[in-house]
Copies of this chain bind each other. A is one copy, B any other.
Amino acid sequence: MTIADPEHPLYGISVAAQLTGMHPQSIRAYEDRGLLSPARTDGGTRRYSNGDIGRLHRIGGLLGDGLNLAGIEVVLALEAENQRLRAEIDALRGAPEDPAG
């Protein structure tokens, strides 16, 4: 069931805009800054996955906190690394490998 994959391309940009409360132009600007990389159709139209929507929500939260795009880029990278470090700690402690089972 690849359709349930969080990275499966599902939405056009206007739907992504509705789901996130963002302006389509803003979403394109975030992509220009490298904050996300949605899939594209053969013709070049963007297709957003649920993972992309989640990432846009995180971006919107950080924007609401007053961060600019340069800061959001660094923060997202640090948060990803942080998550990886926490997983490593769990593994070293012998915790269950995957809480989602």
Contact = CB atoms under 8 A, between A and B. Distances in A.
Contact of A75 (B71, B85, B93): B71
Given A86-B85, A89-B92, A92-B93, A74 B65 contact: yes
A82 interface: yes
Interface in A70-93: 70-72, 74-75, 78-79, 81-82, 85-86, 88-89, 92-93
A66 interface: yes
A68 interface: yes
Nearest to A81: B82
Contacts of A88: 89
A19 interface: no
Given A62-B74, A81-B82, A92-B93, 6 more contacts: A62-B71, A67-B71, A71-B74, A75-B78, A78-B78, A89-B89
